[in-house]
Structure 1
Amino acid sequence: MAAEKASRLLSLNGLFPVYKAPGATSAQTLNELKSRLLKEAGLKEFTKRKKQTLKIGHGGTLDSTASGLLVVGIGEGTKMLGAMLTGSKKYTTTGELGKATDTLDASGTVTQEKPYDHITREDMENKLKTFTGNILQVPPLFSALKKNGKRLSCLVREGAEVEAKPPRPVVAHKLTLTNFQPPLFTLDVECGGGFYVRSLIRDIGEALSSCAHVKELIRTKQGPFTLDDDVLREDRWDIEHVARALQTYTPPEEQASKRLKTEETGAAPDQS
């Protein structure tokens, strides 16, 4: 039985969605999932990266305080994760006006307080228009971005002096204000890769002559997966459920390549 489970686990290839709970990092979530699968299959993990027993990875870090959809690649599916990093994502976030924190979310220390009673719903909706489309954004210091091979968040916590990364181009496809009850407001955010919702909320607060931080953040969609789909929660982190949840995903560039080959050969297009 153990040999059969091990064989089945190591034969799995593709992408599947799991739920990341608030409080855990994306890496911790992935490691727990991997540990459970290996244990069920009666396999041990090699410590050397090049000799991993099970190839598994995730397609984009979620803040430890955030929750929601985490796309996981297994086997050959790990090669598809690049498309998840650069592709479209959706979030629901609640921001709090009047308080700024060093981490740009509720886990940090309050660094500034400003009045917010002058801000109306109309002000907020008008300001969102200026943050929609192609914009420049300064990433948070507390982030997974690296300097000299080490994460900025780790350097900051160690007390090192770290300069903010320069503004970089990102895209917000759609920003929708769904609730406005100052100091709290809720947005639905659809954005491209490299986008930081925490930076967006900070910038919105500043643009409204106040300040703000993220109170709650939930990733609801990434690539072809949504939080409403059959997302695997912890009670279903086993080989059988992973096998059922697996989906093959062809990156857009590969889809284009296949279409080109079809046109060149005159073969009937694949309808799968």
Structure 2
Amino acid sequence: MDIDGVLLVDKPKGFTSHDIVDFVRKKFKIKKVGHCGTLDPMATGLLVLVLGKATKIQDLLMSEDKRYEGVLRLGQSTLTQDSDGQIVEEKPVPPLSLEEIKKVFDRYVGDFYQVPPMISAIKSHGVPLYKLAREGKEIERKPRLVHVYSYEIKKWDSPFIHFEVLCGKGFYVRTYCHDIGQDLGCGGHLFSLVRLQSGNFKLNQALSFDFLNSLKSPEELLNHVLTLPQVSRIRRQ
């Protein structure tokens, strides 16, 4: 049967975004399935899938703002800028005050430039950077203009900073944590990450992977797919 619409999934840790796309495509025999914004394997949370004719609005949905909840681990810089990567440098964490931390976070509000990490899906001459990185190659990356609307520091428990950030498209939370760690003088990396929201789609609307796996047929899945008219109404909210 033809299924056209948007499916919201709470991606578990350890899966790539493509793993979830491939799972849905094969299990429910849907020819066209895509996702609207990559989540790294170490990250969890909202993954927006487009099915069938909804793939035509994939780029539109991918460009929407996103909200994340993360933990920055100070004192350790890693190869991938997150907790999946090899530690390449360790420094003692100074006795930072919350005010000192906020001053650095304040530098990363509004428009600013980020240098994308080598471990990313950005392509150089048609080859994803992460493939070049696996070969031990380092390619010069052009800084990209990104935008942070707001942030909130939820908790400071050295060496961990718990934060929430609302950002525009093309923003790397890994690089955000890396850069803030460098500015604080001790380095840092993204320890954990949850995507809470993408556009007007929210994590509490998403299906768990276990529930998705329990569905037996495309007909059962259809009950949980947002139709294109529903998607249009949600985007206008």
> How far apart are residue 82 of structure 1 and its match?
0.8
**What residue identity is the alignment partner of 2:107?**
T
Structure 2 CA distance for aligned equivalents of residues 130 and 232 of structure 1: 36
TM-score using structure 2 length: 0.91
1:114 deviates by 1.6
Q: Secondary structure at the match of 1:228?
A: helix
Corresponding residue number in structure 1 for 2:200: 224
Contact 2:14 2:41 in 1 (8 A): yes
In the alignment, structure 2 segments of 5+ residues that lack a partner are none
Q: 1:245 to 1:164 in 2, by over 3 A?
A: farther
Please, which of 107, 115, 121 is the counterpart of residue 84 of structure 2? Answer: 107
Deviation at 1:246, TM superposition (A): 2.2
The one-letter amino acid of 1:214's match is: L
Q: CA 1:31/1:123 → structure 2, altered by over 3 Å: closer, same or farther?
A: same
Cα displacement (A) at 1:251: 9.9
Confirm or deny: 8 A CA contact 2:117 2:175 kept in the other structure.
yes
Query: Cα deviations across residues 193-245 of structure 1 (Å, max 9, x unaligned)?
Result: 00000000011111111200011011111122111114343322442453222
Structure 1 segments (4+ residues) deviating >4 Å: none
More strand as a share of residues: 2
How far, CA to CA, are the matches of 1:172 and 1:88 in structure 2?
A: 9
**C-alpha contact 1:88 1:191 (8 A) present in aligned 2:** yes
Q: Residue 88 in 1 paired to residue 65 in 2?
A: yes
Q: Is the 8 A contact 1:19 1:232 kept in 2?
A: yes
Alignment partner for residue 63 of structure 1, among 20, 26, 40?
40
> Does the CA contact (< 8 Å) of 1:80 and 1:251 recur in 2?
no
Distance 1:226 1:91 in 2: 11
Aligned to 1:250: 232
CA distance in 2, matches of 1:244, 1:233: 16
Q: CA RMSD in A?
A: 2.0
Identity of aligned residues (%): 30
Equivalent position of 2:10 in the other structure: 19
Aligned letter for 1:36?
A: K
TM-score by length of 1: 0.80
- Listed one character per residue, the Cα deviations across residues 48-77 of structure 1 (whole Å, up to 9, x for unaligned) are xxxxx6111111111111111110001111
Out of 222-231 and 241-250, give the one that drifted further: 241-250
How far apart are the structure 1 equivalents of 2:232 and 2:35? 16
Aligned length: 231
